[in-house]
Amino acid sequence: MNALTSLLDGFGTALTPLNLLWAALGVLLGTAIGVLPGIGPAMAVALLLPVTYGLDPTGAFIMFAGIYYGAMFGGSTTSILLNTPGESAAVVAAMEGNPMAKAGRGAQALAAAAIGHFAGGMVGTILLVALAPAVAELAVDIGAPDYFALMVLAFIAVTSVLGSSRVRGLASLLIGLTIGLVGLDQMTGQQRLTFGSLQLADGIDVVIVAVGLFAIGEALWVAAHLRRRPAEPIPVGRPWLGRGDVRRTWKSWLRGPFIGFPFGAIPAGGAEIPTFLSYVVEKRLSKQKDEWGKGAIEGVAGPESAASASAAGTLVSMLTLGLPTTAVAAVMLAAFQQYGIQPGPLLFEREPDLVWGLIASLFVGMVLLLALNLPLAPLWARLLRIPRPYLYAGILFFAAVGAYAVGGEVVDLVILLVIGLIGFGMRRYGLPVLPAVIGVILGPGAEQQLRRALQISDGSVTGLVDTPFAVTVYAVIALLLAWPLVKRAVRRGRTAA
């Protein structure tokens, strides 16, 4: 019940007029930016980071919660009305949503998506409230070797579970770790990879890396391959659902979260797998099988709800263990670091106002999302017609504002461009961007924990595996690494039989 009283205190924080305003502003900005074609939730959060620099941490994170959910909903609007999903999690939304829009049922598709987001987010956040304090309590005693094991798990999970090529994932991770090395060594003050430059001695700010890889890299990549004729969005009216639609979809909305949340909570996150799983489940359970592929509304409702719940799930590992597993969580962790706050087991003890205010504002944000976005949907749809030169020029412009706002240094803009060009190259050659960002964010911390653990054990490597927790985590890592081999063996066995 302790969590419940804390949550009530959190609502006290979230429902002050000023914080309510930040949440509403976050939802509106997040949806507006997320709807724009080519901008996924991660880029939206990265671009909007500087907006929160002037706020206190609590207000900033309340705004982030709104931006996060708004950007996710905006992304599904784009894939339903344009049928060219920018990120993998939105692919499923386009599979049934776009045929619906083409058949003149775009309003229903958007409503099913919006309510799906609402239902998934609600159930997911309730699970977050129930689980997070328990996880934090379990994790509160973990020491340096356990932290190091967890970070290794995050590295392995983002490189080998997501994406299609492990070698390319690892290459991306190592690029990130290298960027993370630049600057003064935290324990000895030794200069590393600074080449005598004073500016580099401070290290490269995580925000600049995130904005460079997500925003500049993407804008340059699109610029090199810009469609001569942008895809035409399908016009849409105010979203609504008939009684028949509701009867078909309410079970899908409720099933989605239980598929999405677990996948978000384990550090193999991302909404890619759960949305697809939910799609398959809904298809199997559906009574109108002939409609699938031509616009079955359950195929929008279930996966969208799963995606939203998986976002809540990622917050569990992000807040209680400090482990980001998705690009958005990575950018949010970077934002926490900007304020000198280290997410982890102690966060719930040290910053209860902030954490519970943030969690309460997730609920508030979802209500606002539903209340604002249903009536505003036709307006958002109009944003899809923005001329592409303005859109990508705007991304470059706001990326520059964000990078300059970090420290007021011109050299940051040059570093931003260089990292953007790296991001461009990574997109060209299929290196996933997420492992690099995770490497930059977690790399320095992982090194510190490693050295601390080895200091305690006086240099003996056994110091890394002397707790049951660490051993368990390494077992999970071994399982992740062995999984493709097992799968191949099983498949071979099946074809032989």
Whichever of 189 and 493 has its CB closer to other proteins, that residue is: 189
Q: For residue 8, how many other CB atoms are within 10 A of its CB?
A: 11
Q: At what angle do helices 298-321 and 272-285 cross, to 10 degrees?
A: 150
Shortest reach from residue 186's CB to other proteins, in Å: 9
Shortest reach from residue 415's CB to other proteins, in Å: 10
Whichever of 110 and 259 has its CB closer to other proteins, that residue is: 110
DSSP 253-306: HHHHHHHHHHHHHTTT--SHHHHHHHHHHHHHH-S-GGGTTS--THHHHHHHHH
Shortest reach from residue 208's CB to other proteins, in Å: 13
Shortest reach from residue 21's CB to other proteins, in Å: 13
Backbone angles phi, psi at 196, to 5 degrees: 75, 5
Whichever of 27 and 200 has its CB closer to other proteins, that residue is: 200
Alpha-carbon distance 210 to 327, whole Å?
9
Shortest reach from residue 51's CB to other proteins, in Å: 6
Q: What 8-state DSSP symbol labels residue 188?
A: T
Asked if residues 154 and 173 have their Cβ atoms less than 8 Å apart, the reply is no
Q: Which of 94, 92, 100 is nearest to 279 (CA)?
A: 92
Whichever of 104 and 407 has its CB closer to other proteins, that residue is: 407
How many CA atoms lie less than 13 Å away from 102 in the CB half-sphere?
Answer: 14
Shortest reach from residue 256's CB to other proteins, in Å: 24
Question: Residue 184's beta-bridge partner residues?
Answer: 191
> Counting Cβ atoms within 10 Å, is residue 311 exposed (0-12), middle (13-18) or buried (19+)?
buried
**Overall size of the chain counted in residues:** 497
**How distant, in Å, are the alpha carbons of 82, 263, 462 from that of 93?**
11, 18, 48
Shortest reach from residue 255's CB to other proteins, in Å: 29
Shortest reach from residue 335's CB to other proteins, in Å: 14
Shortest reach from residue 195's CB to other proteins, in Å: 8
Alpha-carbon distance 379 to 308, whole Å?
22
Q: Which of 228, 442, 453 is nearest to 333 (CA)?
A: 442
Whichever of 263 and 392 has its CB closer to other proteins, that residue is: 392
Q: What is the 3-state secondary structure (H, E, C) of 37-63?
A: CCCCHHHHHHHHHHHHCCCCHHHHHHH
Whichever of 16 and 165 has its CB closer to other proteins, that residue is: 165
Whichever of 378 and 425 has its CB closer to other proteins, that residue is: 425
